[in-house]
Chains A and B, each alone.
Chain A
């Protein structure tokens, strides 16, 4: 993350963008600034407006109010074919009647470019996505992953200012998806073009992005780096959507000093950074599963301790996920433990000493 004093010019910016389809308001005053060269991700549950926002940026939809600025220029009324953006569609939209080479040359040919230059650019683009020599392949003979690469090459060969990707990995199987995730990341670093990815998969967002915007029902809930988003979600909804979070009831004691009583854990003092939304309204305490620790004999004790009983466990090899009922309350919490060497795996019914630290708590509304 660049930490200069001079804020870099955003490559794409939305200012108070609203979009309605009839009575349905798909976007509500979206204001975003995305810096040049970022891998930016719009993530949210389906129907949250993330694809609509992408289509507004691409020029397929016009905002009802507000405007979009790309590379310092207002693009209101500028159609998609005149914008310095290119899109990779969810189903790739590889033209079925053209072969791979003609698909990639499609955008170049509209620019009245010499044919041998086009041919060279096409072969460079194919090399970039690892499909060298595929020019003459018919599109229908491609696998899902290859289609994906052709769609990428077809968009990147035009050297757009911003590449928009609409759930490009959702149609691939798990293994290929993971492979394409890291390839996309590498590709973005190599070409230095700003990527804006739309996905409903929070894990994908966390692993790939420089910055992430979480959207719910047409609004942006939080824009942050993956680590900040995970460690300091600004609301209960974001915390629930990004990763897993345990929630415990809170009784307010003295909100001025930040003293609260949390069920099962007792009284703690909460620093201001741990309560991004303040103490007003309905608040809960959130703890990530890995911030609880089951203490085995001989391991150092934690700052605070509570006890519980294991009710369920899932063993993943490297990790074990426990469900533990805390003594004194009716709720179970999820605890994840790394299976380092020598660490035993508890059985269901076993008593456990659970360590935690007040700093790991978040107060969310």
Chain B
């Protein structure tokens, strides 16, 4: 029995190893070629250089695209998390007619192909005679991010003991102050997760942004445009490396705050990114 278990666990370890290799090895090629002194992306490596990073730093259209992406992602995160708070609150605290149907409709964009969202939004915009702008991209992203935020925040609100809010009201606070002083701090880990997830989804969303981009491209749309020029590819590798490092830092920060939050609340360590 013991022997069989060990044998099968060897297979499991191998499976996990292969799985992780396929998942992360391609990403590790990014920094490798970003420091490679050749504009051709192939082995053997030619030598060490930082010129591609210099090129990234010295590229105005790229900075513009990065700025646009940040504006879109930050706005999307804030808006969809706010909407998610409303929806999650409604679903966990209140009863109203057609509640299930309405919440179902909120969640639909999660499974809707983005290309359909993109095309239909473009049709609406053209019919209304609006001009393409970052605002439209933000609205499109809010549409697809809100279901994720609602799901995350729903779980956070669900875990909140109702009597805590009642106790606060009983001790003389208004509903609004109760929300600020009790509800918000207690669902804060959920809110941070929601902000991070919607920020990430929006940051690398391509299809909707591609359809709704006018003159102001977001970073994914800009990168896609640059792929036509082979000599720019190492620069994109450098850009990718920077994004990778930034994402990892964000993740570490998020996890740090989550754990600190869990500690002050005295909760059992569970879930999380790592």
Contact = CB atoms under 8 A, between A and B. Distances in A.
Contact of B265 (A89, A111, A140, A155): A140
A286 B236 CA distance: 91
A80 B265 contact: no
A272 interface: no
B172 A93 contact: no
A97 interface: yes
Q: Which of B170, B181, B185, B265 has the most CB of A within 10 A?
A: B170
Given A89-B166, A96-B186, A110 B172 contact: yes
B182 A95 contact: yes
A140 B171 contact: no
Contacts of B185: 97
A81 B170 contact: yes
B177 interface: yes
Contacts of A140: 264-267
B171 A86 contact: yes
Interface in A121-168: 138-141, 151, 154-155, 158
Contacts of B193: none
B164, B177, B185 — which one has the most chain A CB atoms within 10 A of its CB? B164
Contacts of B267: 140
Contacts of A60: 166, 170
A54 B266 CA distance: 31
B232 to A, nearest CB: 50
A79 interface: yes
B163 interface: yes
A60 B163 CA distance: 11
Interface SS of chain B: helix
Contacts of A95: 164, 167-168, 182
Contact of A87 (B164, B167, B177): B167
B50 interface: no
Interface string B155-174: 00000010110111111111
B172 A158 contact: yes
Nearest to A154: B171
Given A107-B172, A158-B172, A97 B167 contact: no
Interface in B170-218: 170-174, 177, 181-182, 185-186
B163 A138 contact: no
A154 B167 CA distance: 10
A52 to B, nearest CB: 14
Contacts of A85: 170
Nearest to A58: B170
A79 B169 CA distance: 9
Contacts of B164: 93, 95-96
Interface in B221-248: none
Nearest to B188: A97
Contacts of A97: 185-186, 264-265
B172 A81 contact: yes
A72 B173 CA distance: 24
A139 B267 CA distance: 11
B266 A91 contact: no
A321 interface: no
A91 B169 contact: no
A155 B172 CA distance: 10
A93 B165 CA distance: 9
Contacts of B169: 79-81
- Between A79, A87, A93, the greatest number of chain B beta carbons within 10 A of the residue's beta carbon is seen for A93
Interface of A: 58, 60, 79-81, 85-87, 89-91, 93, 95-97, 106-107, 110-111, 138-141, 151, 154-155, 158
Interface of B: 161, 163-164, 166-174, 177, 181-182, 185-186, 264-267
21 contacts: A60-B166, A79-B169, A81-B172, A87-B166, A89-B163, A90-B163, A93-B163, A93-B164, A93-B166, A93-B167, A95-B182, A96-B266, A97-B185, A97-B186, A107-B171, A107-B173, A110-B177, A111-B172, A139-B266, A140-B264, A158-B172
Given A81-B173, A89-B163, A95-B164, 12 more contacts: A80-B169, A80-B170, A85-B170, A89-B167, A93-B163, A93-B167, A95-B182, A106-B181, A107-B172, A110-B171, A140-B266, A155-B171
Which 4 residue pairs are nearest across A and B when measured between Cβ atoms? A140-B266, A107-B171, A93-B167, A93-B163
